[in-house]
Amino acid sequence: MVPVGVAAWPDRADDIAAREPSAVLGEVQRPVAVSRGLGERTPVPYPSLTATPTLPEPTPTGTPTPEPTVTGHMYATTALNVRTGPAEDAEVLAVLARGTKVGVTGATDGSWVQIIYDDRLSWVSGDYLSETAPPPEPDAGISFAECESGSAVEAGLTPDAIRVHRAVCAEFPEVSSYGGLRGGGGEHSEGRALDIMVSGSSLGDAIAAWVRDHHSPLGVSEVIWAQRIWTAERSSDGWRWMEDRGSDTANHYDHVHVTVYGNAGG
């Protein structure tokens, strides 16, 4: 028996067609995809290296502090130092006479009160300010007449120091020796101090107390006697002890030392 041969026919046309599109599509899509990516890409220019950058406008960091203004008025109840700052060691700009009306800003620092004096901010002790004007202080018969014993010591003294000399001379005629202008710096070299020489403690006590009681019309800012000090600015503190300086004269046991403002009394 002769074996029957098996013929191998090629794939059918529809099978070929079914496989060809994928091959053809692959061949067509690849170049299209590449060309689309290259064709649609737009070059981006580099920024100019010479261009000047524009900076934003500065933003205010806060509201400016307004200048202090007068918010009210008060009156000096005694001769009062006007200082550059709220401290006893601050520079003294002027001395307000008793009854002087001052403009206050409302600012305080402890017992110190800020005022506007001569168009500038200054400070005074609030302990000696009042919302009402103090009544006129009687002179209690103070004499400012020239001393019968002469007034040679008054050479170079300020008006307040002359007032002290004449008033004490009239009130205590037993005093015969005074010390006024001298060198060495301090109030004496400025004509703002007078030393009243005494021979006993009782007389010194009386003079020191009398000068304190009449400090305002005399323009007195400070009294030193028997190693103690009294100041007009701290009058409510009374006498305050001082350190030992070694001798009776240095400790003011043989004279009453009086310091004045200059021309605040009268």
175 and 242 inside one domain: yes
pLDDT value for 258: 98
Query: Is 50 exceeded by the pLDDT of residue 156?
Result: yes
CATH label of the domain that carries residue 237: 3.30.1380
- Residue type for 215, please? H
The percent of residues in the chain predicted with pLDDT above 70, rounded, is: 73
pLDDT value for 35: 46
Residue at 43 is within a domain: no
pLDDT value for 78: 78
Query: Is 50 exceeded by the pLDDT of residue 53?
Result: yes
Residue at 214 is within a domain: yes
102 and 176 inside one domain: no
Average pLDDT on 1-11 reads 49
156 and 242 inside one domain: yes
171 and 239 inside one domain: yes
Handedness of CA 68, 71, 73, 78 (dihedral sign): negative
Residue at 109 is within a domain: yes
86 and 165 inside one domain: no
Across the chain, what does the average pLDDT equal?
81
pLDDT band at 116 (very low <50, low <70, confident <90, very high): very high
165 and 224 inside one domain: yes
DSSP line for 85-133: SSSTTSPEEEEEPTT-EEEEEEEEETTEEEEEETTEEEEEEGGGEESSP
Count of domains in the chain?
2
This prediction's pTM: 0.58
156 and 251 inside one domain: yes
Answer whether 226's CB lies under 8 Å from 252's CB.
Answer: yes
Give me the domain span that covers residue 181: 152-260
77 and 123 inside one domain: yes
- Taking Cα atoms as reference points, which of 192, 165, 97 lies closest to residue 137? 97
CATH label of the domain that carries residue 82: 2.30.30.40
